DNA sequence: ACTGTGGAATGAACGCCGTTCTCTAATAGA
DNA sequence: TCTATTAGAGAACGGCGTTCATTCCACAGT
């Protein structure tokens, strides 16, 4: 054999690189995808970038992942890892729902543009079903009629995703417009609204203060509060006859911030 | 001038092709984009398809539209054409909000995958500002405190967009899975939920009936009702002590369109 | 110790995309 | 009638997701 002969110049060297020390797995691919997502953003997240992040050929990914869509789906279900929803507690369903919502938003914020990936994720896949069941359980434990519990899931989850998506789009615009900090961006926006012609946009101008003086967190919490109060108005007072009776049908009194 | 003379037969070579009978405009491009969207769906909507629809070279589009993103933005603002929001009526703000929501969903349903384009549209662009102002006006006329009115816009619009987006994604899945009718698809889904292991997903199984026996319209209306009830719980009963009086300090009565 | 085999990674290619560039031809104005 | 302008055409560029034939490597069986 001529193994030890110098490689002929026109042939590519036989053993080119170190042979993939660590084996490629779906998990490593998802990890790399998150690294790329955080560094480059949703628009630049592609199979080539993920492969480059792993130091691997693009086509190698397709042995473990059937398409970009599936990769995104894997990223989506990754969002639910280690998410422990509490045992439904009839007495504290409001707090449990509020905390679920805040957790959801926090998880969406853990990675840049994550809301873009979350939208379009299948909410009833095998991995996410347990969480959907749990949140429905919390609603039902709270006394929501079944048909309201179903709609409650729609309202809550569209709000969480939609709010986070809007935040991530503002963040993108901020980045693209060269504004360095959120405070700077917010000031720019507030000025924009304040300088609108008040005769044509009286309400926007009037609200420009309150809309921007509160943080996004406050606005999110308020949105959740609105939804929870609306849900509470449907709670059937089936029993709970005696002490500690909560409010009437349409307007519950208050709750913990 | 010989403008009105018929073209001489032998010099037809001069003007060999029909010289763009109808001039290309932004409006015609947006029209064509909608045609392509309805026929091919969001994923297949591209500059080449739009150009082909117009019988025009791709590059011609860029004389009127600076990018695909701008084209999408034009499609987004088109959604607001001829949308007459009513004069804010303090007595009927709930009905006005509900109708606004239903209108919004209907407009999103007018074109396939429209929700995908609506998500990502700039809600505070010059063309959409009047509508945002109007809906805020309705909230304030109803007696919502200013900071609640701001959050109310978030909740309502994320629900409308998110709900419609989810619908359009189910529709896409139905199309891709070869199911012909929605009824068929719904039956498949209901069976899927019913056959889940009840010990692991008790609530999903329990709700599988009610979740699918109601139409999407009912679920949407119920979601809106939840939100409106939540908003109502924030209405300040400042005065409105008795008959006639319009609302108080925080809600201006009306405005000219 | 040798060899055969199967799975995983490679590199090149395909067809598509959004966008840009150059050039042509038709129009409008003097 | 000549010229300046400009809308549109056509080709090209780089990048995308995906596929495919090939190559390499680790390991099983002899």
**Closest chain A residue to the Cα of B129, Cα to Cα:** A201
- Among B130, B163, B230, select the one facing A230 at the smallest CB separation: B230
Proximity of residue A14 CB to strand D below 7 A:
yes
The alpha carbons of chain B give a radius of gyration, in whole angstroms, of: 25
- What integer pLDDT is reported at residue A186 of this predicted model? 87
- What integer pLDDT is reported at residue B136 of this predicted model? 97
In CATH terms, the superfamily for domain B20-78 is: Homeodomain-like (1.10.10.60)
- Among A206, A222, A233, select the one facing B229 at the smallest CB separation: A233
Alpha-carbon distance of A53 to B168, in angstroms, equals 34
Q: Which helix (H) or strand (E) holds A193?
A: helix A182-194
- Among B169, B206, B219, select the one facing A120 at the smallest CB separation: B169
Distance B46 CA to C24 C1' (A): 26
Q: Are B146 and A207 in contact (CB under 8 A)?
A: yes
Mean pLDDT of A61-77: 96
Place of tokens 């150009």: B51
- What integer pLDDT is reported at residue B21 of this predicted model? 61
The stretches in chain B having pLDDT less than 50 are: 1-20, 239-257
Q: What is the biggest distance separating any 2 CA atoms in chain A, rounded to whole angstroms?
A: 94
Alpha-carbon distance of A27 to A78, in angstroms, equals 9
List, as one string, the DSSP characters of A137-184.
HHHHHTT--HHHHHHHHHHHHHHHHHHHHHHHHHHHHHHHTT--SHHH
Alpha-carbon distance of A181 to A247, in angstroms, equals 44
The residues, any chain, with a CB within 8 Å of residue A107's CB and separated by 6 or more, are A79, A83, A114
Q: Are B234 and A222 in contact (CB under 8 A)?
A: no
pLDDT tens figures, A16-61? 333 435 788 999 999 999 999 999 999 999 999 999 999 999 999 9
Alpha-carbon distance of B188 to B84, in angstroms, equals 39
Q: Are B87 and B254 in contact (CB under 8 A)?
A: yes
Partners of A147 on chain B (C-beta within 8 Å) are 210, 214, 222
Q: Are B33 and B71 in contact (CB under 8 A)?
A: yes
Alpha-carbon distance of A56 to A252, in angstroms, equals 58
Name the residue with higher pLDDT: B181 or A163: A163
Which CA distances in Å does B95 have to A71, A203, B14, B143?
43, 20, 63, 14
Alpha-carbon distance of A58 to A45, in angstroms, equals 13
* Buried residues in A167-194 as b, exposed as e (16+ CB within 10 A): bbbebbebeeeebeeeeebbeebeeebe
Contacts 24+ apart (CB under 8 A), A105-108: A105/A160, A105/A163, A105/A164, A105/A220, A107/A79, A107/A83, A108/A79, A108/A160, A108/A161, A108/A164, A108/A168
Partners of B154 on chain A (C-beta within 8 Å) are 159, 162-163, 166, 219, 223
Query: What's the length of chain A?
Result: 257
Mean pLDDT in chain B? Answer: 86
Alpha-carbon distance of B96 to B85, in angstroms, equals 9
**Of all nucleotides in the shown strands, which has a C1' nearest the CA of A63?**
C8
Among B223, B228, B235, B249, the residue to mutate for chain A (most A Cβ within 10 A) = B223
- pLDDT band for A100, please (50, 70, 90 cuts): very high
Q: Are A155 and A228 in contact (CB under 8 A)?
A: no
Whether the per-residue pLDDT at A106 is higher than 80: the answer is yes
Q: Are A188 and B116 in contact (CB under 8 A)?
A: no
Alpha-carbon distance of A68 to A51, in angstroms, equals 12
Question: CA A111: distance to chain centroid?
Answer: 8
Alpha-carbon distance of B119 to B97, in angstroms, equals 20
Q: Is A49 helix (H, G, I), strand (E, B) or coil?
A: helix
Q: Are B234 and A226 in contact (CB under 8 A)?
A: yes
Closest C-alpha among A125, A86, A130, A135 to residue B200: A130
In CATH terms, the superfamily for domain A90-232 is: Tetracycline Repressor, domain 2 (1.10.357.10)
- What integer pLDDT is reported at residue A86 of this predicted model? 96
Q: Check CB contact of B98 with chain A, cutoff 8 Å.
A: no
Distance A179 CA to D7 C1' (A): 37
Q: Which of residues 190-219 of B touch A (CB under 8 A)?
A: 196, 200-204, 206-207, 210-211, 214, 219
- pLDDT band for A243, please (50, 70, 90 cuts): very low
Domain residue ranges in chain A: 26-78, 90-232
Q: Which helix (H) or strand (E) holds B217?
A: helix B216-232
Share of chain A above pLDDT 70, in %: 84
Q: Would you say domain A26-78 falls under CATH 2.40.30.10?
A: no
Mean pLDDT of A143-169: 96
Whether the per-residue pLDDT at A64 is higher than 60: the answer is yes
- What integer pLDDT is reported at residue B241 of this predicted model? 43
- In this complex, do A136 and B228 lie within 8 Å of one another by their Cβ atoms? no
Alpha-carbon distance of A182 to A208, in angstroms, equals 16
Question: CA A230: distance to chain centroid?
Answer: 23
CA B164 to chain A, closest CA, distance in angstroms equals: 10
**Closest chain B residue to the Cα of A253, Cα to Cα:** B233
- What integer pLDDT is reported at residue A257 of this predicted model? 40
**Closest chain B residue to the Cα of A218, Cα to Cα:** B151
- In this complex, do B211 and A150 lie within 8 Å of one another by their Cβ atoms? yes
Proximity of residue B59 CB to strand D below 7 A:
yes
The residues, any chain, with a CB within 8 Å of residue B17's CB and separated by 6 or more, are none
- What integer pLDDT is reported at residue B181 of this predicted model? 87
Reduce the secondary structure of B59-104 to three states and give it as a string: HHHCCCCCCHHHHHHHHHHHCCCCCCCCCCCHHHHHHHHHHHHHHH
- What integer pLDDT is reported at residue A177 of this predicted model? 85
- What tokens does B96 get? 């006005």
Alpha-carbon distance of B165 to B109, in angstroms, equals 10
- In this complex, do B222 and A148 lie within 8 Å of one another by their Cβ atoms? yes
**Of all nucleotides in the shown strands, which has a C1' nearest the CA of A25?**
C8
**Terminal-to-terminal C-alpha distance of chain B:** 49
- What integer pLDDT is reported at residue A22 of this predicted model? 76
Cα-based angle B40, B119, B64 (whole degrees, multiple of 5): 65
Bases of chain D below 7 A from a protein C-beta are 7-12, 15-21, 23-26
Alpha-carbon distance of A169 to A185, in angstroms, equals 13
């Amino acid at each position: 054999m001529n193994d030890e002969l110098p490689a002929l110049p026109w042939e590519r060297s036989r053993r080119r690189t170190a042979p993939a020390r660590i084996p490629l797995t779906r998990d490593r691919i998802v990890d790399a995808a998150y690294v790329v997502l955080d560094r480059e953003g949703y628009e630049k997240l592609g199979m080539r970038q993920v492969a480059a992040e792993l130091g691997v050929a693009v086509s190698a990914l397709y042995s473990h992942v059937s398409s970009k869509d599936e990769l995104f789906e894997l990223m989506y279900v990754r969002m639910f890892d280690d998410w422990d929803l509490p045992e439904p507690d009839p007495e504290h369903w409001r707090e449990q729902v509020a905390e679920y919502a805040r957790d959801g938003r926090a998880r969406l914020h853990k990675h840049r543009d994550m809301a873009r990936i979350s939208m379009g994720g299948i909410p009833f896949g095998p991995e996410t079903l347990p969480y959907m069941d749990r949140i429905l359980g919390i609603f039902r434990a709270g006394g929501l009629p079944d048909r309201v519990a179903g709609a409650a899931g729609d309202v809550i989850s569209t709000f969480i995703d939609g709010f986070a998506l809007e935040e991530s789009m503002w963040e993108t615009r901020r980045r693209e417009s060269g504004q360095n900090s959120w405070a700077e961006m917010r000031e720019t926006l507030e000025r924009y609204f304040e300088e609108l012609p008040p005769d044509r946009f009286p309400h926007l101008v009037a609200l420009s203060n309150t809309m921007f003086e509160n943080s996004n967190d406050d606005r999110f919490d308020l949105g959740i509060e609105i939804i929870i109060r609306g849900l509470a108005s449907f709670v059937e007072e089936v029993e709970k006859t005696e002490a500690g009776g909560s409010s009437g049908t349409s307007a519950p009194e208050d709750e913990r911030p």
